[in-house]
Structure formats: structure tokens, C-alpha cells
Amino acid sequence: MIKIRGLRKYYHADGKVIKALDDINIEIPSNKIFTLLGPSGCGKTTLLRSIVGLETPDSGEIEIDGEVVFSSEKNIYVPTEKRGLGMVFQTYAIWPHMTIFQNISYPLENLKLKKDEINRRVKDVLRLVQLEGFENRPATKISGGQQQRVALARALVAKPKVILFDEPLSNLDAKLREETRRELKTFLTELGITAIYVTHDRVEALALSDVIAVMKSGRVIETGAPKEIYFRPRSSFVADFIGKVNIFKGKFSQKDGEFTVLNTLFGDIKGVASGEYSNDKDAMFFIRPEFIKLKNEPLKDLNCIKGRLKNLIFIGEYYEAEVDVNGNIFSVTISPDEELRENDEVFVCFEPKYTVIIDD
């Protein structure tokens, strides 16, 4: 378990203050894959580096497995090399002057292990990452995917308490990235190790994580399991960031059983809201394209809005299209077996339980 309390880190550049970390409070569960997700520049790397100890925050506290490794108040700073963590860098940081074996055995040497112990463990970890037989290759003479695995092996070999990843797949090509992501998931789940994973790629985050923390401008704005974050985001930023979404404004009007009714320019829209709201308060609803069904006529118990089909694009698995409702655009997906054409008049229908109402 890693506990982070009130972490702050400001940079001063050109007379401006950049709040890279702005009061971060999170708990990272043990033996789970925890992902920091957010747009580039939101402070993910800074947070990661603070945990490893490569960055000294201005204030706050970091506790790893019960040991405080950083505290501005108590004036504690455990240096990186004493924190016993493993990390895979974005650039992999494979030392070009060493062989693969030397790269991987390095953390063990620093633990002052015996030679045969080192050999054994390097062998084991090389088998694990499927790089057997590469021991004596110079580190510069391997592919990007292999470098990534060397970096992983190096991070794992000393059996660290926590392994941290900073966008480790961003240097790989799309296909390899997908493959590696899958491998990594299985791998980390099997090992049952605590992993902190930084990425700006939502798909990566959803696919890999047990828990996701979404960051924006130096703050963690939401934490939750992938499905929670995806289906029940608590802010439009998260909703938008985590996947394609249609968002429209409205005002609270009333409660209707388990649902809340929102007054919008399309009429009343039913959806789920977390918490209680007073009437006439500004709010918005959103619905993901994949939950929208196009119908020829409105259906009962569903939110249905009439519009016209536009911009039908075939992208393989399905069509992407837009429905124009008096100038308001809904993004939708259409399964390839539907027989629809552009300019057809359609009803945009979606279930209230997938319609999320938030008040931000």
C-alpha cells in the first residue's frame, strides 16, 4: 500500500508558476495495477518520479508499505536507491555501454548478491521476459520491443516492492503495443506485484488497470475501477477523456424513481445522477455513442430524439456517424448490418441507465 498525502510540487519557469502536483491525496492498493491517466503535462511523470524519489516535492508525505519515504514536515527523504523500487522508463534507459546481461544484473550487484545467485536470477527473469540467449548481446543491438523487455526485466529482477512504468509502450508501434499490453497484463497479474503505471492512452489504462486515477493540471480528479470510470464518471472531463461521448446541457427538474429527469433542449431526459440535486440547478447529461440505438420511431422508457443521419463512415468493425438534431450533433456507431443511409430521418434512442447526469 502506498499512501500519498497532500503532495505538492511547483515549478517556476519564466516567472510563471507551474503546478505540476497540486495537493495529491491517493492510496495505491498493494498487488494491483494502478494507473495514472491524464493528458500530457498533467503531472503524471512528476508524481511517479516523486514516488521513486527522483523528484523532491515541495510538501506532502509519501508512505510505501508503512515506511515514510518522504515527508516535508518530518524532513524525511529516503534516497531513490534506498527505496527498493523498480522502474521502466519511457525511453527504457538501457545503458548502451553494457550487454543485456550487465544491464539486468546491475540491480543485483547493487544488492551485493553472490555471483551464482545473480546468474540464476538473471536467467530466471530473462526466461520470464522471453529473452533467453540474449545475455551477451550489446544493448544497442536489439529491437525496441526487446529493449522494452530488457527494461522490464531489469526492473523486476531485484523483486521490488513496487514496479513503476512511465508510458512504457509509447515507443512501440501500434501492433506491438497491443500485444505487449496484453502480455504485460497477464504477466503483472500472475506476479501479483504492486504496479504503478503512467499513461495518457485511455485504452491502455482501461485494458491494464485494476484501479485508474485520472489526473488533470496537477490534481487527481477521480479514482476508480476501469468500468466505474468509464460508465459512471463524475465529471465531464473524465467522461470526455476516457472515451468518445455526447454531452449536452440541461437543468434538474425532478426525481423519477431511481432516475433523475433533466430538462434539456431535447425535452426531458432521464438518467442516473449520483447524489441529490435541487431543481433548476445547471447540469448536463452524457451518453456514449455505443449505447445509442437508431430507430425509425421513438421507444417507450428510452430517451428518444428525432434527427437526421449525417457523415456515415465505414471503419471496419462498425460505422461511425452523426445525427443532426437542429444543429446539435450526436456521435453514434452503427453496426454494419443495419441498412441506413445518409439523410435518413432517425430517432436517437438511449437507455436511462446508461445516461449519466452530472452537475459540473
Partner 1 sequence: MFRRNLTLTLIIIVGFLTICPVFMLLWGSFLKDLGTFSGFTFEKYILAYTDPEFLGIVKNTVLFVVGSAFFATVLAIFLSYMNTRTNIPFKFLFKVISIIPMMIPHILFAVSWVLLLNPSNGILNTLLMNMFNLSDTPINIYSLSGMIFVEGLLDLPIAYLIIAPAMSAFDISLEESSKVCGASDIKTFFRITLPVLRPAIMASFILVVVRSLASFAVPSVIGMPGRIYVLSTHIYRVIASGFSADYGMAAAIGMSALVASVILIYIYRYLTSETSRFVTISSRGFKPSVVNLKSSKYPLFFIVAFISFLLIIVPVIVLIYTSLTPYIMAPSMRAVPMMSLKNWIEVLKDPISLLSLKNSLFLGVFGATIGVILSVFVSYVIVKVKTKSAGLLESLSFLSFSFPGIVIGVGFMWFFVKTPLYGTIWALLIGYIATYLPYGIRPLSSAFIQIHDSLEESSKVCGASYFTTLKKIIIPLLIPGIVSSWILMSTMFFRELTLSVVLSRPGSEVLAVQILRFSEDGLWGRLSALGIIMIFCSSLIVVIVSLIGKKLSKAHV
Ligand X SMILES: Nc1ncnc2c1ncn2[C@@H]1O[C@H](COP(=O)(O)OP(=O)(O)O)[C@@H](O)[C@H]1O
For ligand X, the closer of residues 157 and 214 by Cβ is 214
Comparing CB distances to partner 1, the nearer of 87 and 356 is: 87
What is the distance between the alpha carbons of residues 282 and 201, in angstroms, rounded to a whole number? 31
The CA-based dihedral angle spanning residues 36, 26, 285, 281, taken in that order and rounded to the nearest 10 degrees: -150
* Least Cβ distance, residue 282 to partner 1 (angstroms): 43
Q: How far is the CB of 13 from ligand X (least distance, A)?
A: 5
Where b means 16+ CB within 10 Å and e means fewer, 263-293 reads: bbebeebbbbbeeebeeeeebbbbbbbebbb
| Residue 156 binding partner 1, by CB under 8 A | no
Should residue 229 be labelled a site residue for partner 1 when binding is judged by CB under 8 A?
Answer: no
Cα angle: 150, vertex 213, 189; to 5 degrees? 45
CA–CA gap between residue 42 and residue 216 (Å, rounded): 5
Q: How far is the CB of 114 from ligand X (least distance, A)?
A: 39
Scanning 134-142, 214-222, 267-275, 276-284 for contacts with partner 1 by CB under 8 A, the matching segment is: 134-142
How far apart, in Å, are the Cα atoms of 243 and each of 65, 185, 287? Answer: 34, 21, 11
Q: How far is the CB of 215 from ligand X (least distance, A)?
A: 7
- The piece of 35-43, 88-96, 173-181, 251-259 that touches partner 1 (CB under 8 A) is 88-96
Residue 96 binding result from ligand X, Mg ion, partner 1, none, given CB thresholds of 5 to 8 Å by partner type: partner 1
The residues in 55-84 that bind partner 1, with binding defined as CB under 8 A, are 77, 79-82, 84
| Closest CB 272 distance from ligand X, rounded Å | 31
Q: Under a CB-based contact definition with an 8 Å cutoff, are residues 55 and 49 in contact?
A: yes
C-alpha grid cell for residue 122?
A: 538473471
Contact 35/199 with Cβ under 8 angstroms? yes
Q: How far apart are CA 273 and CA 266, in angstroms?
A: 18
Task: Quote the least distance from Cβ 325 to ligand X, whole Å.
Answer: 36
User: For 351, which DSSP code?
Assistant: -
**Which residues are near ligand X by CB under 6 A?**
11, 13, 18, 20, 38, 40-46
Binding partner of 26, given ligand X, partner 1, Mg ion, none, CB within 5-8 angstroms per partner class: none
Interface positions, 40-69, toward Mg ion (CB under 5 A): 45
Report, in Å, the least distance between residue 72 CB and partner 1. 14
Nearer to partner 1, 140 or 326 (CB): 140
Q: Are strands 76-77 and 259-264 parallel, antiparallel or unpaired?
A: unpaired
Residue 31, judged by CB atoms within 10 A of its CB (0-12, 13-18, 19+), counts as middle
* Interface size with Mg ion, residues (CB under 5 A): 1
Out of 35, 46, 147, 246, name the contact with partner 1 by CB under 8 A.
Answer: 147
Single-letter residue type at 279: N
- The footprint of Mg ion (CB under 5 A) covers 45
- The footprint of partner 1 (CB under 8 A) covers 49, 52-54, 77, 79-82, 84-87, 89-98, 106-107, 110-111, 138-141, 144, 147, 151, 154-155, 158
